[in-house]
Each structure stands twice: as structure tokens, then as C-alpha cells.
Structure 1
Amino acid sequence: MDKNLRVKQWIWIGPPLIMVSLLTLVVLSYAVYLGVHDVNLLKKNFSYTGFGNFVKIWHDARAWSSVWKTVKFVFIGTLLEAILGLALALYLHKDFKLRKITRSLLLIPMIMTPVVSALIWRIFYDPYSGIINYLLGIIGLGGKHDWLGNPDMALYSLIITDIWQWTPFVFLILASGLDSLPAEPYEAAKVDGASRFNTFWHITLPLLKPVILIAVMLRVIDSIKTFDLIYVMTRGGPALKTETLNMYTYVQGMNNFNISYASALSISITIVLTILFVYFYKNVIAQKN
């Protein structure tokens, strides 16, 4: 019976798994081919360069600058999303009348496409007619703040938009994790007279830690790949202050037509994401289970 079940499972899973694997292999192989050649759409002749494009990355100051901006964007955004998502999950874990409606409304930013979110927040950030400057004016902090045009504020404005859109994703994962926690440790803590903080710190947080790490891992990987939000809101400006590694890859490939160097950058991003995933899984998540 078990053998027949496995055969049926592979009949359903096998074909799409093979198709996705082949498609991934073909695309990755072609990206590697482009990465080891000098392929520029403005040139007629393509030449083999080996690891020349990858070596070029190490000496590219603009590439390293984009790496730093990517790290800043990912670290600040993911950290605040994890904190806010956990706070919302804990608060909405309580029973109250509008609990289900509130949970549903919280998911609205997450189900919106990033392009739509970016366009909405561009309107919010408008220095002349944006609602953010209007609200700041009401509380006496008015002024024509150019949120996306100021080099010192642009990246943080993007981070705020990213937090608004993806905190519900972290909340959804952590809320599901909270709902699945066993009741026995809480009953024992209540009998022992433990405070709410001690219960959270010594029971909830340790039990929820694997779920938190999974949510953080997913957000880190997704944040590194962020492109549409940045492209719509700033296109890497002003003065390259919001040009992340993904954005720089786009500029090299689509603006400068340097397909080979863009492929090398893309492969480098893929390698970093793979290393992050393997590290999280082997050294963090697997040890907690």
C-alpha cells in the first residue's frame, strides 16, 4: 500500500518537478555561459574571458557600494519586520470581537503587487501633495520634505515601504506558529505564578524561535532580490543612494547592454542566496528541530 502511494505521489509530483528542474538548469547554464564570455549587445564579436567578469566584481567600487546598500536595506527592513510581526502576532493572538477582521485587514499590503505598493507610496511621499508631509504639518513638523529626492532619506523611505508591505507576511507565519504551540507549558507556568514577561521569554520565545528563524530567512532572501519596489520609486537614485545589487545588475544589463557582467552579478547573487539558505537550514533551523 505504501509503495503504491509513493508511486502515485511521484506520478503527480514528478512531471512538474522535472520541468522546473530542467528549466532552472537551462537558465542557470546559459547564465554561466554568458558570465564567462564578453557579451555586449553593442558588439558583434563575443569572446571567452573565463572568470574575468567575476574578478571584475571584486575591483568594482560601484558594485561594492551597491552591496552595502543591499545589506543596509535587508538588515534594517528584516529586523523591524520581525519585531513588528512578532508584536502583532502576540497582540492578535488574544480573543476579542474584531480579531478575524483585523487579521484579514492586516494582510492587504501583502497581497498587493509591489509595483502598486510602490506607486501608492510615491504619492504618499510627494513633497507637495503627499499625505505624509500633510500629516507632519498638522503636528507642527511641516515642510516640503523630499523623501525620495533627498540622498539621506531615500533609502530609509524605501525601507519603510518594504516594512509596510511585508510585515503582514512575517505576522502570518508567526501567528500560525503561535496557534500551534502546546498548551501544557503555559498551564504549568500559570500554576507556578509566572509573570507574562517570564512566560513570553522562557516559553513562547524558545518554542517560537524556529518559526521566527524561518520567517527571517524567507524575508532575507526575498529582500536581497527586491527590484520592482526600488525601480518604480527611485530607479536607484538620487545619486545612486538606493542602487542595490539587483538594481546595479539591471543597469549593467539593460542600460549598458553588458549582458556578460550582468550575468556574473546575477550568479554571484544566486551563490550568496544559496549559501545563506544552507547556513540557515544546517546551523540554525535543523538544530532547533
Structure 2
Amino acid sequence: MSLGIKASGQAKAADTVKGGVAPSVIRRLSLMGFLDSHPGLLGWFLAGPTFLLAVGIVFYPILYGLLVSFYDVHMLRAGVPKFAAMVQGLFGAKVEGLPKFLGLGNYLKVFTDRQLQRAIGASLILTSINVPLDLIFAMIVALVLNQDFPGRGIVRSVVILSWATPGVINAILWKLMLRSDGIVNGVLLGLHLIKEPVTWLFSTTWAFFWVIVANLWKGSPFSALILLAGMQTVPQELYEAAEIDGAGPWARFWNITLPHLRYPITLLVILGVIGGLTSFELLYILTGGGPANSTLVMAYYVFNHAIQWDNLGYSSALSFWLSGVVTIFGVLYWRLASRRDEE
């Protein structure tokens, strides 16, 4: 018993130093001091787990898709090729079960794909119509919400509902409303604007129109909030001085409000183009790319090649083409906007 007490006392004595501080505490303090004196290492220490997670979730799939784009991959025929096997195939190694190596064949096929050209045209039309209309409607809503009136908070909450609704649910609601027995036909029949129900989504003209309307319904509230936030940063003294000088509402908007919204508008244009070129879920549920491929846009065409037509290699190449176009546009537009500000 005495030996146990003596050993315990020796252990406690060994775990203390001058001043009564345990060595374990000193080690922790020295580690924090080392990291504090090396901020670069501290950053890697804190961001390391997140970086590894991003590599596994983001960068690995991108690299795998890039490798797939160099091969003639058909999942239903031969399954999904392994990453290591495709890397070996790039260097000329013959691996059993590896799909045919095409090099840049999938990328060059883009220039001769007539259906892809029609899909690009549909995407450009959708984007060129949707982006300006989105900015116009969002600007009107933001100007109204920027005024001081009773119930403004409630109105803001109602406006944001359509944006807060998940995209799939939003598309399903529009599809139900546009049925032959839906609310749209019911209202138009009640107003005697049409004589019989219209099958909106089976018309090559009306289907595209309603896709644009549904896009605006979903996206305009978000754009309005961005513009509203920009408006509330404008100093009120500028409006007061302009009003004293006799400037009307239009002059105040054109010379004060709009110049202060350059960056929000630039951001919304970039996001609108990206959204238009990559639009998928609304079209998938609402029209399925039809009728007669009239609403078949680029993102949906990529999906068809990957899932419907089992051509994973070509769809991967299309994805990288699309990503490159979107990235280049975003960079060029942002630089152009920045250059205008400098001038």
C-alpha cells in the first residue's frame, strides 16, 4: 500500500515543473506558440481537412470526368472504367476492358453536331431574353420595396416566396397550372380571352414562352433582393441634394441610383447567363426538352447523352465545353465592367 502511494506521489512530481505547470500543458502552449509564429502553417492546419474534403468531393470527380472525355465510354455496354486504367491508357498502355481511346475526338465532334448547334441556339435565345427581362422586373420590384410604406416587411416576405421554393416544386406547380384543366386556362376562359383550353406545353411557341415566365417567376425575387441591397447603400444626402436642385424621380434614378448599382447588375448578368446556359431542372420537368426539341438547351442535351443515350464520353466533353464557355464569359464581362468603372 505504501509503495502504491509513493509511486503515485513520484508520478505527480514528475508531471510538474517549476511553477507547478504540467509538461503536457507546456507542450500544448509550445505547439500553439509555434503555429502562431508560423501563420502559413496555421492556415494549412485549419484549412487542411476542408481542403482534403474538397479534393475528394469536387476535384476528383472533375478529373475523372476529364479522363472520361478522352474515351468512348458506354456504361451499359462495358461499365464504368477505373481511374487508374484511364491514366495508364493516356500513356499508351494496353489495359484489358478499357474503352477505346479517342483523344480529342469527343471535343472535335462538337463542331459537326447539328443537334448540339440547335441546342446552343435555344440556350442563347433563352438567356438573351431571360436576363434583360429579369433585370427589368427585379429593378421595378426593388424600387417599390425601397419605398417606405405600411406592410413593407410583409410584402418583402411574400415576394421572396417564389425564390425560396425549391426548383423542382416550382416546376411541378407550373406544370399543374399549365395543364388543359389548370388554373391558367381557367382564368383565360373566365375572361373570355380564349374559347377552349390550350395545351400550352405541347406548342413549340408557347412552351418556350412559359419556360421564360417560369424562369422569371423563380429568379426575379433573388435579383430584386440583390438590387434592393445595393439601393440601400446609396447615401440619402445625394437624393436630398438632387431634389433641392430640382431633379425629378427619373433624373435621380438615372444619375444616382443606377450608377451605384453597377456591381450588383454585373453580378446578376453573370449569374443570369450562367443560369441560362446551365438551366436543366425546370426544362426537365416542365417540357422534357420538347415539343419537337424546341426547348432542348445545352444542359439538357448533355444530360441526354449521358443518361438517355449512354454516351458518357461525349457528354463529359460537352460538359467541359460548356464550363469553359461560361467561365470565359464571366471573366470577360467582369473585366469589361471593371474597365468601364476605371474610365
TM bucket (normalised to shorter chain) is over 0.9
How far did residue 36 of structure 1 move?
1.0
The 3 A distance-change label for structure 1 pair 203 and 3 is: farther
The 3 A distance-change label for structure 1 pair 50 and 222 is: same
Tell me the secondary structure at the aligned position of residue 148 of structure 1. helix
Q: Do 2:66 and 2:317's aligned partners in 1 also have CA atoms closer than 8 Å? A: yes
Q: Do 2:189 and 2:197's aligned partners in 1 also have CA atoms closer than 8 Å? A: no
Q: Distance in 2 between matches of 1:86 and 1:14?
A: 42
How far did residue 5 of structure 1 move?
8.3
Q: Do 1:151 and 1:238's aligned partners in 2 also have CA atoms closer than 8 Å? A: yes
Residues 49-64 of structure 1 aligned to structure 2 (within 5 Å) = 49-64=102-117
Residues 127-146 of structure 1 aligned to structure 2 (within 5 Å) = 127=180, 129-142=181-194, 143-146=196-199
Instruction: Determine the structure 2 residue equivalent to 1:152.
Output: 205
Q: Which amino acid aligns with 1:136?
A: L
Instruction: Determine the structure 2 residue equivalent to 1:72.
Output: 125
Instruction: Determine the structure 2 residue equivalent to 1:205.
Output: 258
Q: Do 2:203 and 2:291's aligned partners in 1 also have CA atoms closer than 8 Å? A: yes
The 3 A distance-change label for structure 1 pair 63 and 4 is: same
Count of aligned residue pairs for this structure pair: 287
Q: 1:44-89: CA deviations, max 9, x gaps? A: 3511111111111110010010011111111211211110001100
Q: Which amino acid aligns with 1:137?
A: L
Instruction: Determine the structure 2 residue equivalent to 1:235.
Output: 288
Instruction: Determine the structure 2 residue equivalent to 1:16.
Output: 50
Q: Distance in 2 between matches of 1:132 and 1:95?
A: 33
How far did residue 286 of structure 1 move?
6.6
In structure 2, which of residues 70, 73, 76 is the aligned counterpart of residue 36 of structure 1? 70
Asked if 1:112 is matched to 2:165, the reply is yes
Larger Cα-atom Rg: 2
Q: Distance in 1 between matches of 2:333 and 2:219?
A: 20
The 3 A distance-change label for structure 1 pair 5 and 130 is: farther
Q: Distance in 2 between matches of 1:182 and 1:17?
A: 41
Q: Which amino acid aligns with 2:191?
A: I
Q: 1:146-172: CA deviations, max 9, x gaps? A: 111111211111111111011001001
The 3 A distance-change label for structure 1 pair 5 and 147 is: farther
The 3 A distance-change label for structure 1 pair 198 and 12 is: farther
Q: Do 1:213 and 1:285's aligned partners in 2 also have CA atoms closer than 8 Å? A: no
Q: Which amino acid aligns with 1:38?
A: D
Q: Distance in 2 between matches of 1:6 and 1:134?
A: 65
In structure 2, which of residues 60, 63, 70 is the aligned counterpart of residue 26 of structure 1? 60
Q: Do 2:266 and 2:334's aligned partners in 1 also have CA atoms closer than 8 Å? A: no
Q: Give the alignment's Cα RMSD to 1 decimal.
A: 2.1
Q: Do 2:270 and 2:333's aligned partners in 1 also have CA atoms closer than 8 Å? A: yes
Q: Which amino acid aligns with 2:187?
A: L
Instruction: Determine the structure 2 residue equivalent to 1:168.
Output: 221
Tell me the secondary structure at the aligned position of residue 205 of structure 2. coil
Q: Which amino acid aligns with 2:190?
A: I
Q: Do 2:146 and 2:231's aligned partners in 1 also have CA atoms closer than 8 Å? A: yes
Q: Distance in 1 between matches of 2:54 and 2:339?
A: 26
Q: Distance in 2 between matches of 1:13 and 1:176?
A: 31
Q: Which amino acid aligns with 1:124?
A: M
How far did residue 132 of structure 1 move?
0.8
Instruction: Determine the structure 2 residue equivalent to 1:177.
Output: 230
Gaps in structure 2 of 5+ consecutive residues? 1-35, 79-97
How far did residue 6 of structure 1 move?
8.2
Q: Do 1:35 and 1:260's aligned partners in 2 also have CA atoms closer than 8 Å? A: yes
Q: Distance in 1 between matches of 2:326 and 2:237?
A: 38
Q: Which amino acid aligns with 1:252?
A: H
Gaps in structure 1 of 5+ consecutive residues? none
Tell me the secondary structure at the aligned position of residue 173 of structure 2. helix
Q: State percent identity of aligned pairs.
A: 30
Instruction: Determine the structure 2 residue equivalent to 1:94.
Output: 147
